[in-house]
C-alpha cells in the first residue's frame, strides 16, 4: 500500500513538473516571437517593409516560427548581417548588445526548431559525368601512364562551372558533340597505345641541316651553314624566334608511340657575356636549362607554341664544353622532339636590336652594310644561347613485362584470346569502379562477338570492346548503384565519391577492398580512409582542383597584364610560381592539421627564388632556382601573410591592367566571407577608367557612390578592397600608383585605409587582416566548410544543410580549426555520405 501511494505521489509530482515545464516552454516561445517582432519593427522595417524593400529585401511578413525555405534563407541572412554588425546601418539607430544577442538567440532557436519541418528542394547530387580534368586523371590511373601527350580533351567543349566549381552535376552536361569526342578520344588512346604495330628499336642521328625558320634562317646559313641548332629565348614570348628548336630532318616524327631515348650534345654559350645583362632580362647566375617537349608538324608551326606540348624532360646545360645530355621520353606516333630554353632571354629580337645600337663600334662592319646583323653577333659577339650540335634518338624502347597499357588491360601475361572476355570484364570492373553486373557484361560480350563475326582478329575485337567500355555511361558518369529508396550511399558509391574528391582518380585497391567488406559505410573506418588518403601524394588532386574552384585560381592568367610594364610576369613564368605557393601552403596546413585561421594570417609562406624577388624577401639573395620552393618566415613582415598577401590571389582578383577595390572587394566577399553581393543594377554605368592616371580609383568611387542605388552595396564591398590597393595587378607591394602619363603631376599615393559597415576602421593592410581574423574567422571557416562540401559532393549546399554545417563547425572549433580535422569532419558527415 505504501509503495502504491509512493508511486501515486511520484506520478502527481511528475505530472505537475511536466505541466510547469510545458507552461514555461509556452511562455518562452512567446517572448522569442515578440523579440523578433519588436526588433524588426524597431530596426529593420523602416528600410525593408513592403513599400521600401531597400536592397531588394522585404521583411514585413517575417516572423517566427519559420514556415518555409524562404523564411529559413531570410533568417540566415539576418543572422549573418547582425553577426557582422553590418545591419542596421551605422547611421541608423543601433541595438544594444543585449538586444542584438537576444535577437540572434531567437533566430538561431527558430532555425533549429525548423529542422526537419522544412523539406529541402532536393539536397541531393544530380548524377554527373567526370569533368575533363577527372577524365584525363582517370585514364592515366587506369592505364598506368600519362595521357597528356595525346591531347584527348583538347577539342572537348569548354567546361562549364557553377560559382567557379567544376564538379557540380547540374553544370556537367553532355552534348551530342561531347559524346562524339569521347568516341574519338577512346579510339585515339586505344589505337595509338595498344593497337600500334610491333617494332624493333631504331636509331636516328642528326648533326647537320639544323634549319631554323623566318628571320633566323639567313643568319644561321651564313654563320654556321645550319651546323648548329640554337635556342635564343624562352617559349613564353611574343616574338617566338629561337624559342623552339626542331629537327628539320625529323619532321615526320617517331613511327609508333613509345618510350624513346634522346641524347643531346649541347653547350651553354656566353653565359658570361660582356653585354649588359639587363638587355636579356634573365638571371645569369643561374645555369641555362634545356627542356624537351613534343611537336607535331600537322598541328601548326613547328617553331611556334602548340596545343600539345607537356614538358617531357629537362636538364641544366654546362658552360665549359659540349656535354651529352640524356632523356627518356614518351612520344606519340608522329611527334618529334623539340627543345626549349625555359630560363632563356625574354625576347631575342629586342636584344639584338639593342646590341646593334649600343655595341656597334665593337664590330668590323663591311662597307655598305647597315648596322650589326645577327650573323655578325653569332660569329663575333657574345649573344647568350644554347647550342646543340648533335641529337641521337633511339626507340621505341622495350618495357620489361610489356607496356604499361598492355598490363593494365590484359594483365601480366598479355592478351589471351581464350580469356579475352575474362580480361575485358576485369578491366571494366576497374573502369566502372565497382563489381560488374550481368547488365554490364552483356554489351561487352555482344560487341566482342559481333566484331569476331565481322572477321576482326580476336585482339582487334578486344580493343574495339575496350573502346566501348571507355564510352560507357558507367565509366563516364558517377552512375550510382545505391537503391533509389536509400538516402545513404552504398559502399562502392561512397568509395568513388571519396576517391574522386580527394585524389580526382578512381579508388585504389585498399579503398575498394574496404568497400567490398562493407566497413567503409562505418564512420570510424571512413575517417581512417580519409586520413590515409590525405597522407598520400595523390592528395594533390584535391588540392589542385579545390583551390582552382574555391579561389578561382584556374582563371590566373586569363587576364594577363601588359607585357611592357610586367616583364617578369612573363619572363619568369610567375603564374606557375604564384599557383604553387598557394598549393604548398594549403598542403602544409592539411598535412599538419594547421589552423584554417592561418588562411587569414600566417607568419610563413612558401617561395621560390622568383617569388622571393617579387615579395622583396631576404631569401631572394640566397635561393637558387634549383632549390625550388622553401618554407620562409614572414614574422614581422606586415606586407604578406595569409591568402590575401599571396600574389596568386592578388593577381586573379585584379583585371590585369589596373586594380579596383570593387573587383577585389567582391572577390574577398565571395571567396573569403562567402557573401555574394548582388549584381549592379542595369541602369548604373560602369566606373570609367582615368587613362591619364590623374585620379585614383578611390576618388572615382567616391563620386560613383553618391548615387543611392550604388551606395548600399559599395559601402559593404569597397572596404574589403581598399586595403588591397597597396598591391599592384600582379601582387607587388606599392605605396603609390603609376605616374600619370601626362608627366606633369606626381604619382598619386595609395590610400589603403577604410571602414567596415560595422564601424571598425583600419589604416593599412595589416590592420585590415587583423580585423578580418579577429571578427570574421567564424564566418570564413563556415564558408570554407561549405565550399569543401560543395566541391566534394558535386552540389551546392542548401538551407536545410545549415544545421549539419553548424555541427561540423563546432567540431572543427573544438580542434583549433585544424584543416585536416575540417576535411575529415566534412567527408564523414551525413551530407557527404548521402546521395
Statement: residue 3 has pLDDT above 80? no
Using DSSP's 3-state secondary structure scheme, residue 820 falls into: helix
Q: For residue 659, what pLDDT band results from cuts at 50, 70 and 90?
A: confident
Instruction: Tell me how far apart the alpha carbons of residues 778 and 457 are, in angstroms, rounded to a whole number.
Output: 64
Name which of 125-129, 228-232, 665-669 the model is least confident about: 125-129
The whole-angstrom separation of Cα 234 and Cα 347 is: 8
Confidence of residue 764 (pLDDT cuts 50, 70, 90): very high
Q: For the beta carbon of residue 203, count every other beta carbon within 10 angstroms.
A: 9
Task: Indicate yes or no: pTM above 0.75.
Answer: yes
Q: How much of the chain exceeds pLDDT 90, in percent?
A: 64
Q: Which residue has the higher pLDDT, 610 or 361?
A: 610
- Residue-level pLDDT at 23: 40
* Average predicted confidence (pLDDT) for the chain: 88
Q: Which of 8-17, 23-32, 118-127, 690-699 has the lowest mean pLDDT?
A: 8-17
Half-sphere exposure at residue 47, Cβ-oriented, CA atoms within 13 angstroms: 13
Q: Please tell me the distance from the alpha carbon of residue 107 to that of residue 102, in angstroms, as a whole number.
A: 9
Q: Is 770 helix (H, G, I), strand (E, B) or coil?
A: helix
* Mean pLDDT for the stretch of residues 404-425: 97
Compute the half-sphere exposure of residue 257: CA atoms within 13 Å on the CB side of its CA.
18
Q: What are 125-155's pLDDT values in tens digits?
A: 778 899 999 999 999 999 999 999 999 999 9
753 vs 25, higher pLDDT: 753
Range scoring the smallest mean pLDDT among 26-35, 136-145, 267-276, 488-497: 26-35
In the prediction, which pLDDT does 121 show?
43
Q: What angle do CA 427, 430, 434 make, to 5 degrees?
A: 125
Q: How confident is the model at residue 236 (pLDDT cuts 50, 70, 90)?
A: confident
Whether the predicted pLDDT of 683 surpasses 50: no
404, pLDDT greater than 50: yes
Give the number of C-alpha atoms closer than 13 A to the C-alpha of residue 695, restricted to the C-beta side: 12
**pLDDT value for 702:** 66
pLDDT of 606 reads: 98
8 Å CB contact between 353 and 383: no
* Residue 15: band (very low, low, confident or very high) from pLDDT cuts 50, 70, 90: very low
What pLDDT is stored for residue 12 in this prediction?
A: 40
pLDDT given at position 337: 98
Could you give the CA distance from residue 526 to residue 546 in angstroms, rounded to a whole number? 20
Amino acid 25: pLDDT: 40
Please indicate whether residue 657 or residue 824 has the higher confidence score (pLDDT): 824
Q: In whole angstroms, how far apart are CA 254 and each of 207, 259, 313, 378?
A: 18, 10, 17, 32
CA distance 51 to 177: 50
pLDDT number for residue 41:
84
> Is the pLDDT at 692 greater than 80, yes or no?
no
* Least confidently predicted of 40-44, 282-286, 699-703, 820-824: 699-703
pLDDT 10s digits, 697-749 = 666 666 556 655 566 677 788 889 999 999 999 999 999 988 877 667 788 89
Over residues 50-57, the mean pLDDT reads 68
DSSP string over 352-419: HHHHHHHSGGGS-PPTT--S--HHHHHHHS---EEEEEEEEEEEPPP-TTS-HHHHHHH-TT---GGG
Alpha-carbon radius of gyration of the chain: 32
Q: Is the peptide bond before 419 cis (omega within 30 degrees of 0)?
A: no
| pLDDT tens per residue across span 78-127 | 877 777 777 788 778 888 878 888 888 888 778 777 755 554 545 677 78
CB 615 within 8 A of CB 578: no
* H/E segment holding residue 631: strand 630-633
pLDDT > 60? residue 688: no
Local structure of 340: helix, strand or coil: strand
Lowest mean pLDDT among 198-202, 613-617, 661-665: 661-665
Least confident of 48-62, 483-497, 578-592: 48-62
What confidence score (pLDDT) does residue 465 get?
98
pLDDT of residue 483: 82
Give 458-515 pLDDT, tens digit per residue.
999 999 999 999 999 999 999 778 887 788 999 999 999 999 999 999 999 999 999 9
User: How much of the chain exceeds pLDDT 70, in percent?
Assistant: 89
The pLDDT of 164-189, averaged and rounded, is 93
- How do residues 540-553 score in pLDDT, each as one tens digit? 999 999 999 999 99
Amino acid at each position: 500500500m505504501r509503495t502504491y501511494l509512493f508511486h501515486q505521489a511520484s506520478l502527481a509530482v511528475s505530472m505537475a513538473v511536466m505541466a510547469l515545464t510545458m507552461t514555461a516552454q509556452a511562455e518562452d516561445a512567446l517572448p522569442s516571437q515578440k523579440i523578433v517582432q519588436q526588433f524588426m519593427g524597431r530596426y529593420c522595417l523602416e528600410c525593408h517593409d513592403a513599400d521600401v524593400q531597400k536592397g531588394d529585401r522585404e521583411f514585413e511578413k517575417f516572423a517566427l516560427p519559420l514556415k518555409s525555405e524562404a523564411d529559413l534563407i531570410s533568417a540566415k541572412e539576418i543572422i549573418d548581417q547582425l553577426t557582422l554588425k553590418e545591419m542596421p546601418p551605422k547611421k541608423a539607430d543601433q541595438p544594444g548588445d543585449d538586444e542584438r544577442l537576444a535577437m540572434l538567440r531567437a533566430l538561431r532557436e527558430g532555425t533549429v526548431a525548423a529542422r526537419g519541418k522544412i523539406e529541402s528542394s532536393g539536397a541531393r547530387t544530380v548524377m554527373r559525368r567526370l569533368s575533363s580534368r577527372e577524365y584525363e586523371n582517370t585514364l592515366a590511373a587506369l592505364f598506368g601512364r600519362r595521357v597528356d601527350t595525346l591531347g584527348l580533351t583538347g577539342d572537348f567543349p569548354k567546361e562549364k562551372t557553377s560559382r567557379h566549381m567544376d564538379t557540380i552535376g547540374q553544370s556537367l552536361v553532355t552534348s551530342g558533340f561531347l559524346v562524339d569526342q569521347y568516341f574519338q578520344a577512346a579510339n585515339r588512346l586505344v589505337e595509338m597505345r595498344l593497337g600500334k604495330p610491333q617494332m624493333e628499336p631504331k636509331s636516328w642521328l642528326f648533326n647537320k641541316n639544323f634549319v631554323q625558320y623566318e628571320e633566323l634562317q639567313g643568319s644561321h646559313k651564313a654563320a654556321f651553314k645550319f651546323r648548329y641548332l640554337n635556342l635564343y629565348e624562352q617559349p613564353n614570348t611574343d616574338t617566338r624566334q629561337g624559342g623552339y628548336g626542331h629537327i628539320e630532318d625529323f619532321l615526320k616524327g617517331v613511327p609508333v608511340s613509345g618510350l624513346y631515348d634522346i641524347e643531346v650534345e649541347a653547350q651553354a654559350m656566353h653565359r658570361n657575356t660582356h653585354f649588359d645583362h639587363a638587355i636579356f632580362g634573365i638571371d645569369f647566375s643561374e645555369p641555362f636549362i634545356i627542356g624537351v617537349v613534343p611537336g607535331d608538324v600537322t598541328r601548326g608551326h613547328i617553331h611556334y607554341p602548340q596545343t600539345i606540348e607537356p614538358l617531357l624532360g629537362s636538364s641544366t646545360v654546362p658552360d665549359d664544353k659540349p656535354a651529352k645530355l640524356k632523356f627518356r621520353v614518351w612520344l606519340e606516333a608522329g611527334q618529334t622532339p623539340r627543345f626549349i630554353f625555359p630560363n632563356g632571354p625574354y625576347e631575342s629580337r629586342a636584344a639584338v636590336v639593342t646590341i646593334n645600337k649600343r655595341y656597334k663600334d665593337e664590330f668590323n662592319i663591311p662597307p655598305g652594310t647597315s648596322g650589326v646583323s645577327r650573323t655578325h653577333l653569332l660569329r663575333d659577339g657574345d649573344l647568350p644561347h644554347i647550342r646543340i650540335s648533335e641529337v641521337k634518338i633511339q626507340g621505341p624502347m622495350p618495357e620489361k613485362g610489356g607496356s604499361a597499357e598492355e598490363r593494365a588491360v590484359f594483365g601480366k601475361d598479355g592478351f589471351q584470346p581464350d580469356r579475352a572476355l575474362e580480361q575485358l570484364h576485369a578491366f571494366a570492373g576497374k573502369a566502372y569502379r565497382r563489381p560488374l553486373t550481368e547488365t554490364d557484361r552483356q554489351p561487352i560480350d555482344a560487341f566482342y562477338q559481333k566484331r569476331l563475326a565481322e572477321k576482326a582478329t580476336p585482339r582487334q575485337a578486344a580493343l574495339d570492346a575496350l573502346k566501348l567500355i571507355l564510352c560507357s555511361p558507367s565509366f563516364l558518369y558517377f552512375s550510382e548503384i545505391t537503391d533509389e529508396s536509400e538516402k545513404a550511399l552504398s559502399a562502392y558509391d561512397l568509395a568513388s565519391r571519396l576517391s574522386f574528391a580527394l585524389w580526382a582518380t578512381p579508388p585504389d585497391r585498399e579503398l575498394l577492398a574496404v568497400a567490398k567488406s562493407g566497413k567503409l559505410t562505418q564512420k570510424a573506418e571512413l575517417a581512417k580512409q580519409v586520413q590515409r588518403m590525405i597522407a598520400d601524394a595523390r592528395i594533390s588532386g584535391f588540392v589542385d582542383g579545390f583551390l582552382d574552384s574555391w579561389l578561382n585560381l584556374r582563371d590566373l592568367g586569363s587576364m594577363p597584364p601588359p607585357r611592357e610594364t610586367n616583364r617578369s610576369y612573363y619572363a619568369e613564368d610567375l603564374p606557375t610560381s604564384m599557383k604553387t605557393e598557394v598549393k604548398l601552403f594549403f598542403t602544409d596546413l592539411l598535412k599538419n592539421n594547421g589552423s584554417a585561421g592561418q588562411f587569414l594570417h600566417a607568419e610563413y609562406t612558401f617561395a621560390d627564388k622568383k617569388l622571393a624577388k617579387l615579395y622583396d624577401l631576404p631569401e631572394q639573395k640566397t635561393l637558387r632556382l634549383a632549390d625550388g620552393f622553401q618554407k620562409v618566415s614572414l614574422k614581422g613582415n606586415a606586407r604578406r601573410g595569409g591568402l590575401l598577401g599571396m600574389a596568386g590571389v592578388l593577381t586573379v582578383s585584379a583585371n590585369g591592367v589596373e586594380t579596383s577595390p570593387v573587383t577585389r572587394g567582391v572577390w574577398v566577399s565571395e571567396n573569403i566571407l562567402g557573401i555574394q553581393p548582388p549584381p549592379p543594377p542595369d541602369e548604373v554605368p560602369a566606373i570609367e577608367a582615368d587613362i591619364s592616371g590623374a585620379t585614383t580609383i578611390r576618388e572615382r568611387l567616391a563620386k560613383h557612390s553618391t548615387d543611392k542605388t550604388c551606395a548600399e552595396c559599395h559601402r559593404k564591398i569597397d572596404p574589403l578592397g581598399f586595403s588591397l590597393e597597396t598591391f599592384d595587378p600582379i601582387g607587388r607591394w606599392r605605396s603609390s600608383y603609376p605616374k600619370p602619363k601626362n608627366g606633369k603631376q606626381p604619382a598619386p599615393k595609395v590610400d589603403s585605409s577604410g571602414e567596415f559597415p560595422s564601424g571598425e576602421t583600419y589604416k593599412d593592410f595589416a590592420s585590415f587582416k587583423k580585423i578580418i581574423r579577429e571578427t570574421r574567422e567564424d564566418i570564413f571557416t563556415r564558408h570554407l566548410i561549405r565550399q569543401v562540401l560543395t566541391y566534394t559532393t558535386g552540389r551546392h549546399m542548401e538551407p536545410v544543410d545549415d544545421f549539419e554545417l553548424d555541427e561540423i563547425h563546432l567540431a572543427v572549433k573544438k580542434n583549433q580549426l585544424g584543416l585536416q580535422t575540417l576535411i575529415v569532419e566534412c567527408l564523414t558527415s551525413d551530407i557527404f555520405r548521402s546521395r
